[in-house]
Amino acid sequence: MLAIDVKDLRKQFNVQKNREGLSGALKDLFKREYNEVTAVKDISFQIPEGEICGYIGENGAGKSTTIKMLTGILVPTSGHIKVNGFIPYKDREKFVGGIGVVFGQRSQLWWDIGVIESFQLLRKVYRVSEQDFRKRLNELVERLQLGDLLNRPVRKLSLGQRMRCELVASLLHNPSILFLDEPTIGLDIVVKTEIRDFLMQMNKEQGTTILLTTHDLQDIEALCSRVIMLDDGRIIYDGGLDELKNRWSKGREIQFQFARHTPIEKLKQLTESLDVTWTPENDVTAKMWLPHAVNVSDALARVVGGVEIRDIKIFETNTDDIVRGIYQSGSAAVSKETSQS
Amino acid sequence: MMRYASLFWEYIKNYAKTRLTYRADFWIEVLSDLLFQGMNLIFILIVFQHTPSLGGWSEAEVVFVYGFFMVPFGVFSTFFSIWNFSERYIVKGEMDRVLTRPAHSLYQVLLENVDPPSLIGSFVGAIIMALCWTQLDLPFHLLDVLMLIVLVLGAVLIYAGLYTALSAISFYSDAPTGIVPLMYNIQNYGRYPVNIYNKMIRFVLTWLLPFAFVGVIPASYFLEKKADDLSRMAMMTPVMGIIVFSLGLALWNHGVKKYRGAGS
């Protein structure tokens, strides 16, 4: 069954145009002009139950807007959404009982009262029975090691502690779909890892569907079997992370350390027939960049045959670089994508 | 319904936990509320030092009306202290959180902002009414108590509806509107006998922004009949309350669909 089914989803905002200067402000007072901004442009995707899907894109690409439509906060301008069998904005009150939401930038908990009191309140809001609540809470508290935090007021928690509490808060009613909007923002590596492990485990054991947006691609690498990439309100990639790497990484880099000073011209000469580029780093080291078309062993053989080498390092382009590349060439990718479809 | 009642109790308990720890704050709020009401009362007393009656209303009667007004106003302030709704929920985007929870959005917002100290104003109002009641030598029936409850509820609904509608405006308009202080001023007119105003203002206070139904109209039910008998309209109070509140709620429900969220 599909957990999330989105078809031709679109969201437009009317953004007020502010004219410049005092006279502009005065004009605005009487006659406002609006710009229509389309934050999400007719996107379609489907997420089956039990999948962890990463939703990535630059700031302002429309990630949060999509999440807010999926969770029933915003009403779409057009298109169809079905989440968990509901149309989110229509049966909002019934629908949200089956989902969990964590906004990394915003707290769900009450600032002044103890964490456990917030949980108790949420128990009432979500109509969880005392018995289920206890069982669930004990599980979560044990797994996220919250034991001694429960009686502290939220404002006295560190960000990492608060984030773990937020996760618990969103899971008390045992939702089948969990939406996470930048859940690891601002957290240290230990807490990040802990949260990732926890999400992974929960997905395995209970089959919770997870949709998360993030800027930290390590989140994606650790968790997601699938990535949806958004640029300027359109989906520019939807598929596995490995495919993404294969499709977008253009080559790799090999760093050589030579025994003695080797002029760059000589290296270029050695690899003349191959489509590689050299960049000198200092007297005895240089980097060779070779596209996927060029065989690594071919290139190595030529260099090794010509000069004496102390050390070799091969750099695979990492996901950050790939994604940065895609973001930067975002518009090009879109035109390519649309011409294909 | 039961669930909403139990939710209400939970929120009140949490309120108590957070607020009662700051005892000084609590009493200062009570005191400042009472001082504010006291100032208005003193104003009425000063006016009556210059004239024995105001549009046919005696001093005790006007004070009685004021006492009546304080009762629904206290109840309203307790449950509808959403003065900062626009800023907190729309501009800062806290509405996001509210909308991801399975309870009516208005109800959640109200519960998050309950302000029980305002209820003390209602008690003071009731005492003022009782004092005037004896001073005016009004007859007392058990039915009056029942009527009082019905009229107070109607008046609270009118207030609630108007301020719900006002808050809902923030869903449509980008910038927080300065309309709330304006309303706050207009509502004060409803505490005095409406027949001292000109026709236009009377009309507005009775039918458009029916603040007259919060003070003078229902209060006149208990008082001696006047020339232009306002007390005949007193029974309209609950009806008016239901109409106004329904309209306010409808505007809210429609507005929530227009909610645009805040950045990020």
**pLDDT 10s digits, A300-329:** 888 888 888 888 888 877 777 777 777 777
Indicate whether B29 belongs to any domain.
yes
CA distance A187 to chain B (A): 18
Judged by a CB distance cut-off of 8 A, whether residue B2 touches chain A is no
**Nearest-CB residue to B18 (from A68, A71, A113):** A113
Give the closest-approach CA distance of B20 to chain A in angstroms. Answer: 12
Report ipTM for this prediction.
0.80
Residue type at A232 in one-letter notation: D
Kindly report the number of other CB atoms within 10 A of residue B35's CB atom: 9
**Structural domains of chain A in order of their starting residue, each with its CATH number:** 2-246 (3.40.50.300), 250-316 (3.30.70.1150)
Position B91 in a domain: yes
Kindly report, residue by residue over A23-53, the tens digit of the pLDDT. 877 777 777 777 888 999 999 999 999 999 9
Chain A residues with at least one Cβ partner in B under 8 Å: 13, 16, 64-65, 68, 71-75, 89, 92-94, 96-97, 99, 101, 103, 105-108, 110, 112-113, 117, 120-122, 124-127
CB atoms B14 and A73 under 8 Å: no
* Mean pLDDT within A286-302: 84
User: Would you say residue B262 lies in a domain?
Assistant: no
Residue of higher predicted confidence among A212 and A60: A212
Beta carbons of B103 and A93 less than 8 Å apart? yes
Q: How far apart are the first and last CA of chain B?
A: 35
Residue B227 binned pLDDT confidence (cut-offs 50, 70, 90): low
Q: Minimal CA–CA distance to A70: which of A213, A218, A272? A: A213
Q: What is the pLDDT of residue A323?
A: 78
The DSSP result for B99-116, as a single string, is HTSSS-HHHHHHHHT--G
pLDDT band at A100 (very low <50, low <70, confident <90, very high): very high
pLDDT for B263: 55
| Domain limits for position B169 | 2-256
Chain B residues touching residue A93 (CB < 8 angstroms): 102-104
Euclidean distance between CA atoms B12 and A337, whole angstroms: 55
A226 sits in which H/E element: strand A226-231
- Domain tally for chain B? 1
Q: Which of B10, B94, B102 lies closest to A121 in CB terms?
A: B10
* pLDDT for the residue A336: 42
In the numeric block, which tokens belong to residue B255?
């507005």
Residue A197: name the closest of A242, A159, A143 by CA: A143
Q: Is residue B195 part of a domain?
A: yes
> Quick check: is B104 in a domain?
yes
Q: pLDDT for A113-128, tens place per residue? A: 889 988 999 999 999 9
- pLDDT on residue B174: 63
Residue B125 lies in a domain: yes
- Which pLDDT belongs to residue A340? 38
The answer to whether A319 touches A241, Cβ cutoff 8 Å, is: yes
B97 touches chain A (CB under 8 A): yes
Q: Which two tokens stand for residue B18?
A: 């957070």
